[in-house]
Structure formats: C-alpha cells, structure tokens
C-alpha cells in the first residue's frame, strides 16, 4: 500500500490546478451570475489541454489513464466550481461511460470520441416524477418497432436537460416488472418527439441547467440501444464510477473552501490580531482538514481498488456518503469562518455550501447509500417495499 501519488499523477494534478486556478475563477463567477453553462468553446479548450476523457481509452479519443487520474483533475476543477468542473465530470464518469462499456461499436465510435473532444455533451435521464430513490419504478417506455425504438414518458431533474446534445435515457423495455424490464437508449436532442420543460430554479448548481424531458412517440434508430431490458445491473455497475465522481465533486467543494479559508483567517484581523490566532478557529480548521483527508482517501481507495474495472458498490457508496456529508459540514464551517463575507454572494463560499447540498441528493440520496452499505455488510439487499 502506497499513499503517495506517482510523479506523473502529481504532474497531472499540478497542471489541472494551474489551469483551473489561473483561468476559471472569473468564468465561474460569471456563470454563477448568469446561470449559463460553460460555452462549447471553453469545453473545447478543456479538451485541447487533455482534461476531458482522462480515463477513456486512447482508441476512443481519451487519454487512456486511470480513474484516479480522472478524479485528480476533477477535484482541481471542482474546487473552482461545480459548473466549470461539470464537463470534466460528464466526460470521465458520466453517462458516456455506459456508452463506452456497453453500446454497440457504431454508437460507441460516434459518441465517445466527440465527448472527449468537447464537441458533444451527453446527459443522463434516469429520475422521473414518481421514481427517484425508487428508480426501478420508472415508467418511461421504449418499444422496439421494426428498426426503430419509440419512447414515451417523462424524465425529471436531468442535469443538462435542454442544454446537452444527447441523453442516455433509462427506460422500460419489456413488460417484466422492476429492474428486469429496464434498459437504456441514446437519444439526440433534436429527435422529433423530445421536448423539454422550463429550466429548474435550484438552490445551487447554477450553470448546470436542469429540466424535465418529455418523450412523445420519440423514435430513434435501433442502433441507439445501449443496453436492452435486463441491463439495469450493468448500468448500475457503471454508475459506481459516477458515484466516485459525485463524491469528488462534493470533496472539491470542501477542499476548495478550506484552501480559501486558510488564506482568509490569516489575513482577517479582529481584536488586533489575525483570527487564526484564536484557538477555536484553529480547531475548526483542523476538523475540516481531517474530514477532507478522510474523504479523499476513501475516494482514492475506491478508484485504486477498481484498477482492473469499475469500483465496487460498497467502496463507491462509502466514499460518496462520507464525502457528501462532510462537504455540507466543512463548507458550513467555511461560511462561518468568513463571517459576513462567507454569506455574501460576491464570494464563492456560500455557493459551495449550496452546491454541496445538491451532491448529497444527486446520484442517489445519502441515506440510500447507507442502505447500500448495510446491504453489503450483511450480504443481501433489503427489500424497501415489503415488510422485512
Ligand atoms: C442537483 C441534482 C442533480 C440531479 N441530476 C440528475 C440527473 O442528471 N439525472 C437524473 O436522472 N436525476 C438527477 N437528479 C435526481 C436525483 O437522482 C434524485 O433527486 C434522487 O435520486 C432522489 O430522488 P427524489 O428527489 O425523488 O427523492 P425521494 O426518492 O422522494 O427521496 C426523498 C428522501 O426520502 C428518503 N428516502 C427515500 N427512500 C428511502 C429509503 N428507501 N430509505 C431511506 N430513506 C429514503 C431520503 O432521505 C431521500 O433523500 C438530480 C438531483 C439533484 C438534486
């Protein structure tokens, strides 16, 4: 067991940090004010620096590095803001991974390299009005009719909804109940029969537009099938990596907050001295650092244990759950330590607190992760519906 990053990993992390800190803070502030996501030009610039598709094979346009390398880059971007980091998230751990792993060759080659080059944004549409935590209750139907798949139904809370160029849509593809009937289909934005609801006004996640998706006899070619009915388990395995990305985004809110606040408490003077001289402030900083280090180690463990494939459900759930919880706590402390400046929208601190809250709901609520963890402990899934 070696807790040190390799020279190459350290160099990649430093390059991501230098670019993110040098280029992105004013853009993040503008995104926060306008609510508009990063432009295609900026995303293409990320690609030209090699920050997209870090862990996607070179043959598909990525850098061909590991999950840990991707998460190192993601944390550095996420420290600046969730919105500027979101294209990195999508290209390294997002729904494109399900396409990369499971889609037929033609679809894979059409989509994955264009995500890595920044030309294409692909979002994930799983949740529905009546299927959130109980995802296997989803009712959006995808029916194979000859050479076409026809979708009908409504999706909710899709990050990128209305903005992304295409969607990985989880849908019911057979009459089998629950998970057994679920598969996934790739649907380009311009497909007839797909329309979008109004942009949601969320507590945070400014610059990550979110909306409903409406499918009304929306037909795509049969080659757009990513997995047929019965593929839900495989989709969820790919989702274990997304969980590590979600955990890293949460971690980045906390670690970015601590970096800023460590500077602030040494500059801000009260009672004639820098506030870092007060022991209560020192203890708070130490508690923040302990939580951040622990979250980072859990995430890195999940990524390293998955060297040969995807992280395990247990590792990724433990990492997500812990990072989600400490991010809310640490960013809350950071707001407090900056006093009125922490609460002001002129500074990035209160935004980190709002975004942290979202990461603990997106990708499966914290308590659902805990149910997964308990299930792994006792070696069986708990039936959330019937009596146990
Ligand atoms: C910022 C953000 C981004 C999102 N992005 C996407 C996206 O890109 N694509 C997408 O498909 N979805 C997305 N979602 C939706 C997200 O996946 C769901 O909100 C989440 O799974 C919870 O579902 P729900 O909102 O319906 O809450 P519910 O399922 O109604 O749950 C509400 C609360 O009830 C409790 N609860 C429910 N069931 C249980 C249980 N069995 N055991 C213990 N507690 C339970 C939990 O505390 C939970 O937080 C996003 C959500 C947010 C907030």
Which of ligand 1's atoms lies nearest the C-alpha of 205? 1
Burial class (CB in 10 A: 0-12, 13-18, 19+), 388: exposed
Q: Which of 95, 174, 166, 178 is nearest to 138 (CA)?
A: 178
Percent of the chain clearing pLDDT 90 (strictly above): 91
- Write down the residue that tokens 């060759």 correspond to: 105
pLDDT tens column, 147-171: 999 999 999 999 999 999 999 999 9
pLDDT > 90? residue 269: yes
Look at residue 233 and give its three-state secondary structure.
Answer: helix
pLDDT tens column, 37-89: 999 999 999 999 999 999 999 999 999 999 999 999 999 999 999 999 999 99
Q: How far is the CA of 372 from the centre of ligand 1 (A)?
A: 14
Strand ranges, E, within the chain: 122-125, 141-145, 148-159, 166-172, 182-188, 194-196, 210-221, 225-227, 269-270, 273-274
Mutate to test the pocket of ligand 1, among 170, 199, 368 (most ligand atoms within 8 A of CB): 368
Which of ligand 1's atoms lies nearest the C-alpha of 161? 8
Q: Which residue owns the Cα nearest ligand 1 atom 24?
A: 132
Percent of the chain clearing pLDDT 70 (strictly above): 98
Indicate the helix (H) or strand (E) that contains 237.
helix 232-267
Question: Which pLDDT belongs to residue 313?
Answer: 85
pLDDT category of residue 307 using cuts at 50, 70 and 90: low
Task: Answer with the residue of higher pLDDT: 363 or 305.
Answer: 363
Q: Which of 143, 78, 141, 91 is nearest to 296 (CA)?
A: 78
Task: Answer with the residue of higher pLDDT: 303 or 155.
Answer: 155
Q: How far is the CA of 361 from the centre of ligand 1 (A)?
A: 5
**DSSP β-bridge partners for residue 152:** 141
For residue 106, how many C-alpha atoms fall within 13 Å in the half-sphere facing its CB?
A: 6
pLDDT tens column, 24-33: 999 999 999 9
Q: Contact, 74 vs 222, CB < 8 A?
A: no
What value, to the nearest 5°, has the Cα angle with vertex 33 and ends 32 and 35?
Answer: 65
The model carries a pTM of 0.97
């Amino acid at each position: 067991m070696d807790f040190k990053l390799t020279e190459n990993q350290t160099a990649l992390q430093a390059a991501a940090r230098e670019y993110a800190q040098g280029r992105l803070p004013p853009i993040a502030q503008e995104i926060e004010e306008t609510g508009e996501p990063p432009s295609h030009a900026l995303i293409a610039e990320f690609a030209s620096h090699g920050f997209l598709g870090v862990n996607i094979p070179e043959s598909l346009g990525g850098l061909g590095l590991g999950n840990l390398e991707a998460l190192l880059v993601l944390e550095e971007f996420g420290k600046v803001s969730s919105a500027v980091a979101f294209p990195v998230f999508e290209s390294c751990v997002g729904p494109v991974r399900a396409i990369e792993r499971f889609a037929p060759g033609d679809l894979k080659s059409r989509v994955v390299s264009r995500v890595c080059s920044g030309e294409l944004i692909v979002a994930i549409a799983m949740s529905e009005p009546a299927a959130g935590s109980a995802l296997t209750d989803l009712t959006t139907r995808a029916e194979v009719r000859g050479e076409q798949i026809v979708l009908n139904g409504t999706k909710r809370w899709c990050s990128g909804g209305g903005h992304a160029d295409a969607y990985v849509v989880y849908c019911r593809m057979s009459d089998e109940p629950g998970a057994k009937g679920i598969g996934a289909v790739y649907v380009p934005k311009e497909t007839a029969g797909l329309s979008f609801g109004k942009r949601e006004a969320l507590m945070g996640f400014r610059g990550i537009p979110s909306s409903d998706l409406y499918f009304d006899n929306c037909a795509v070619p049969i080659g757009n099938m990513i997995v047929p009915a019965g593929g839900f388990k495989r989709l969820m395995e790919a989702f274990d990596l997304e969980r590590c990305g979600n955990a890293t985004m949460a971690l980045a809110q906390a670690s970015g907050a601590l970096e800023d606040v460590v500077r602030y408490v040494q500059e801000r003077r009260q009672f004639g001295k820098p506030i870092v001289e007060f022991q209560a402030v020192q203890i708070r900083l130490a508690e923040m650092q302990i939580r951040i280090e622990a979250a980072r180690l859990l995430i890195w463990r999940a990524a390293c244990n998955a060297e040969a494939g995807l992280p395990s459900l247990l590792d990724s759930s433990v990492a997500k759950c812990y990072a989600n919880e400490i991010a809310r706590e640490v960013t809350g402390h950071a707001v407090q330590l900056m006093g009125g400046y922490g609460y002001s929208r002129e500074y990035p601190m209160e935004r980190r607190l709002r975004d942290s809250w979202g990461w603990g709901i997106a990708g499966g609520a914290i308590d659902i992760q805990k149910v997964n963890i308990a299930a792994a402990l006792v070696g069986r899934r708990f039936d959330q519906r019937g009596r146990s």
